[in-house]
Each structure stands twice: as structure tokens, then as C-alpha cells.
Amino acid sequence: MKNSTNTIITVILAVAVVALFVLHFTDKPKTPKMAPMPTGDSTVVMPIAYVTIDSLMTQYNYAKDVNDKLMASAETKQANLNAQGRQLEKEMQDFQYKMNNNAFFSQERAEREYQRLAKKQQDFQQLQQKLSGELMEEQAKTMKSLSDTIWSQIRTYNELHGHYQVILTNQGGSIIYSVPMYDITEEVITYLNDQYDTSKSTAEKEETDKK
């Protein structure tokens, strides 16, 4: 019983970083298109950049807050489930103790108690599955929102600062090799955190004003 109650959140707690897909912007750049790079000319910079997703997900404050929220939700559900599991386990041990010591006054009473515990165990297993499903759904929705936010913010960043024709990620080995000059990870992280911290401060101020 103890092992089963401890396994429900294992997968949820292990997933701390969402794998984002390739960020490919289709908007036309506002600056003139650059000519193809001449062979051997290293002074021409192609309008392409990439972002290291692992770094972004560990340094973006919104991503860290999202992860903390998911962990807190999972831990609360796990604690409640563990409490119910311990109670059920105690009742089953009490039942076994009474059976071993012929404590039931009748076979009918023992049978009713057995059926009650069997039903309670079945309900507990169903609760495990229900909570696991809820956590998976919560995680999927939260990570979708996070992914959409990053997509939108990077598009805005590109319009304001980059004007790149393509922005890639190195997630999943999509980039085998790249020159460091094309890495805009730190710039993007700084931009994302500035935007998030500003919006967060505004939201907290509005909440304080309501009180």
C-alpha cells in the first residue's frame, strides 16, 4: 500500500522542463533581405539565430514559477493520498488482527467488514488514478500556456530587436553545429524576464490595491 501511494506523483515530480518545438517565424523581416553569404566571406551574418531551450527553461522566471506551482500542487495531492492510504492500511491490519484472533462474533459480521474494506480499497485505487489524471491534465495545460507565452514573447522580441528570418532551438539535436555568434539565448532570457517581472509587479500592485 505504501509503495503504491508513493508512485502516483513520481512521474509528475520528475517532469520539470517542457520540451518546446522549433520556433520558426514566418513574418517578413522589416529590414532588407540579405544576399547569400559569399563563399569564404565570414563577415556576413545570416538572418538566423538560435536559442538554447534548456538554459531558457532554467533561467526564465515564469518557467521557474510554473514549475514550483506544479510541484506544490503535486505535493499537496500526494500528502492527502498518503494520509488516506495510511488510514486504509491501518483498517486492513485491524481486520486481519481480528480474524487471526477470532474476534468477530459472527461470520456475517466478518464478511461485511471484508466487503467494506474491499470497496474502500477499490475506491482508493480509483482515487489514485483520478489524481494522477488531474495532475497530468494540469501539467499539460500549464506547459501549453508556458509554451505559447514563450512563442509569443520571442516573436515580439524579434520584431523589436532581432528581425531574424528564422529562430531555431537546439532542443532534440535539431542543430548539430552552430557558431556562437548566432546564439541569442542570454538576450532572449533577459527580455523574457524583464517582461515577466514587469507584468508580475503590476499584477501584485493591483492585488494590493484591492485589499
Tell whether the torsion through CA atoms of 83, 85, 91 and 93 is positive or negative. Answer: negative
* pLDDT tens-place string over residues 75-115: 999 999 999 999 999 999 999 999 999 998 999 999 999 99
C-alpha cell at 50: 538560435
What stretches of 45-167 show up as alpha helix (H) in DSSP? 53-59, 61-100, 107-157
Residue 165 pLDDT: 87
Residue 206 confidence class, pLDDT cut points 50, 70, 90: low
Residues in a beta bridge with 35:
none
All three cell numbers of 90: 491501518
CB atoms within 10 A of CB 6: 13
Among 131, 153, 174, smallest CA distance to 19 is for: 174
Neighbours of 51 (CB within 10 A): 24
40: pLDDT strictly greater than 60:
no
- Count of positions (residues) in the chain: 211
Q: Environment class of residue 152 by beta-carbon count within 10 Å: exposed (0-12), middle (13-18) or buried (19+)?
A: exposed
Residue type, 29: P
Residue 195 has pLDDT above 90, yes or no: yes
Question: What is the mean pLDDT of the segment spanning 59-71?
Answer: 94
Alpha carbon distance 210, 165 (integer Å): 44
H/E segment holding residue 51: strand 48-51
Q: Return the top range by mean pLDDT from 28-42, 122-136, 165-179.
A: 122-136
The reply to whether the predicted model has a pTM over 0.95 is no
Q: Is residue 74 within 8 Å of 12, Cβ to Cβ?
A: yes
Residue 26's pLDDT is 30
Among candidates 196, 197, 193, 174, which has minimal Cα distance to 52? 174
Exposure of 119 in the CB half-sphere (CA atoms within 13 A)? 6
Report the run of H or E that residue 32 belongs to, with start and end. Answer: none
Q: Of 31, 58, 64, 61, which Cα lies nearest the Cα of 46?
A: 31
What number of CA atoms fall less than 13 Å from residue 55's CA on the CB side? 13
| Mean pLDDT, the chain, whole residue set | 78
For residue 41, pLDDT beyond 80: no
